[in-house]
C-alpha cells in the first residue's frame, strides 16, 4: 500500500510528466507515491465509471485533464467562488464527505505569468480555445488586471458562454469580445494565448499563425508536451516574450501537491529533478 495514491484522468496523457512530478514530490517528503494514468477509452469505461472507481478505492485524489475538466464539476463540491465561475476543475480530493474540486490551472497560470512578467498588465490579449483550460486562463487574465480580452473558438457557442461569464465577473469597463478570425482579433493585442490542444503530441500544428503576431509582445501556450511547440517557436522568432506551458504544468502540479499532501516542496530541487533524465526501467 503506497503512502499516497493519486491518479490522472484524461484521454491523451501517455506523454504527461504529471505522474513523475508527484512521485518526485513524494520522494522529497519521504513518501511512496503511486500515481496512475487513467484513460477512460482504453479502460472501456466512461469518465463517471473511472471517477467512481477512484472515489471508492484507495485514492487520496486525482487530477483531471482534457476533455473532462468541465463535466467533472458535476461530481464535486467547489468551495472557491472563482472556481465555480470558471466552471472547470483539474484537481479532486476524496474524503468521507463529498469530493472537493479545485482548479490549479487557474492558480498555476497566475504563478507562471507573474514569474515571467511580474506585475505588467497582460492586455489587450487574444485567447484561442475556450474549453476547460481556456476558462481557467481567461479568469486568470481578469485576476491579473486585464480589461480587454478577445476570445475565439471553433465552437462559437462555447466562446459566447465564456464571454458572458467573464462579463458577469469583470470590473466595469472591461471589454470582452468574441470573434471568428484570429488575425482580425489580434490587431493591437499585447498577448497571444493558445488554450487549444493544437500543438500537443498527436495534434501537431498551431492555432495562432505568424500573421497574428505583428503587434504582440508576449505569447503563452497551455500545451507543454512538447514544451517547444510550433506556436512558441514562431513567437520567439517574431521577437515575442514566450511563456512556456511547462511553467503552467509545473505550478499547477506544485499547487495540486499542496492540496493532496499538504507537505512542503523545494521548488528548485523539484525543477532540477524533473529536468534530470528519468532512470531506465529495471
Residues with a catalytic annotation lie at 69
What DSSP state is assigned to residue 192?
A: E
Q: In the numeric block, which cell numbers belong to residue 80?
A: 472557491
Interatomic CA distance for residues 62 and 7, integer angstroms: 5
Spatial CA neighbour of 6 closest among 74, 20, 132: 20
Nearest of 88, 101, 85, 187 to residue 143 by alpha carbon: 85
CA–CA gap between residue 264 and residue 151 (Å, rounded): 37
In this structure, are residues 232 and 219 in contact, taking their beta carbons and an 8 Å threshold?
A: yes
- Which has the closest alpha carbon to 242: 262, 222, 214? 222
* Burial class of 174 by CB neighbour count within 10 A (0 to 12, 13 to 18, 19+): middle
In this structure, what are the phi and psi dihedrals at residue 81, rounded to the nearest 5 degrees? -65, -40
Please give the Cα distance from 111 to 14 (Å, whole number).
Answer: 26
In this structure, the strands spanning 100-102 and 91-93 are antiparallel
Rounded to whole angstroms, the Cα distance separating 189 from 147 reads 12
Amino acid at each position: 500500500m503506497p503512502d499516497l495514491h493519486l491518479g490522472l484522468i484524461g484521454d491523451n496523457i501517455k506523454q504527461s510528466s504529471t505522474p513523475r512530478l508527484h512521485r518526485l514530490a513524494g520522494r522529497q517528503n519521504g513518501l511512496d507515491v503511486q500515481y496512475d494514468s487513467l484513460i477512460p477509452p482504453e479502460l472501456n469505461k466512461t469518465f463517471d465509471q473511472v471517477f467512481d472507481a477512484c472515489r471508492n478505492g484507495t485514492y487520496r485524489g486525482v487530477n483531471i485533464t482534457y476533455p473532462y475538466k468541465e463535466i467533472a464539476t458535476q461530481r464535486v463540491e467547489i468551495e472557491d467562488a472563482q472556481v465555480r465561475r470558471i466552471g472547470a476543475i483539474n484537481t479532486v480530493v476524496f474524503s468521507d464527505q463529498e469530493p472537493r474540486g479545485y482548479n490549479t490551472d487557474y492558480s498555476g497560470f497566475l504563478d507562471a505569468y507573474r514569474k515571467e512578467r511580474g506585475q505588467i498588465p497582460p492586455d489587450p490579449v487574444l485567447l484561442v480555445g475556450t474549453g476547460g483550460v481556456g476558462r481557467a486562463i481567461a479568469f486568470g487574465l481578469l485576476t491579473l488586471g486585464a480589461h480587454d480580452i478577445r476570445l475565439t473558438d471553433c465552437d462559437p457557442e462555447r466562446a459566447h458562454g465564456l464571454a458572458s461569464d467573464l462579463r458577469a465577473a469583470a470590473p466595469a469597463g472591461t471589454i470582452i469580445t468574441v470573434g471568428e478570425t484570429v488575425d482580425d482579433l489580434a490587431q493591437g493585442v499585447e498577448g497571444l494565448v493558445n488554450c487549444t490542444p493544437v500543438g500537443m503530441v498527436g495534434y501537431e500544428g498551431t492555432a495562432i499563425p505568424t500573421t497574428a503576431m505583428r503587434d504582440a509582445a508576449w505569447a503563452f501556450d497551455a500545451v507543454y508536451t512538447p514544451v517547444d511547440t510550433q506556436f512558441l517557436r514562431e513567437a520567439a522568432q517574431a521577437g515575442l516574450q514566450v511563456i512556456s506551458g511547462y511553467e503552467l504544468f509545473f505550478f499547477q502540479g506544485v499547487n495540486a501537491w499542496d492540496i493532496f499532501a499538504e507537505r512542503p516542496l523545494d521548488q528548485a530541487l523539484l525543477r532540477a529533478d524533473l529536468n534530470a533524465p528519468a532512470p531506465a526501467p529495471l
